[in-house]
Amino acid sequence: MAFVDRRGVAGHLVKRIVDGSVALSALFVLSPVLAIAALGIKMASPGPIFYRARRIGKGGTIFSMLKFRTMHVNSDQASAITAPGDLRIFGFGLWLRCLKIDELPQFWNILIGDMSLVGPRPEDPMIVERDYTEWMRETLLVAPGVTGPGSVYGYLYGEALLDTADPEGSYARHLLPPKLALERAYMERASVLGDLDYVMLTAAAILATVLGRQLPLPAEDVAQARRWAPEGPFPKVRRE
Instruction: Report residue 237 CA to chain centroid gap.
Output: 20
Task: Note the pTM of the prediction, 2 decimals.
Answer: 0.92
Please report the DSSP string for 77-114 in residue order: GS-SS--TT-TTB-HHHHHHHHTTGGGTTHHHHHHTTS
Whole-angstrom CA distances from 39 to 65, 66, 109 are 20, 17, 21
Q: Which helix (H) or strand (E) is 123 found in, with range?
A: none
Per-residue pLDDT for the chain (240 aa), expressed as one digit of tens each?
A: 688 888 888 888 999 999 999 999 999 999 999 999 999 999 999 999 999 999 999 999 999 999 999 999 987 766 788 877 788 999 999 999 999 999 999 999 999 999 999 999 999 999 999 999 999 999 999 999 999 999 999 988 888 888 888 889 999 999 999 999 999 999 999 998 999 999 999 999 999 888 888 888 899 999 999 999 998 898 766 665
CB 191 within 8 A of CB 152: no
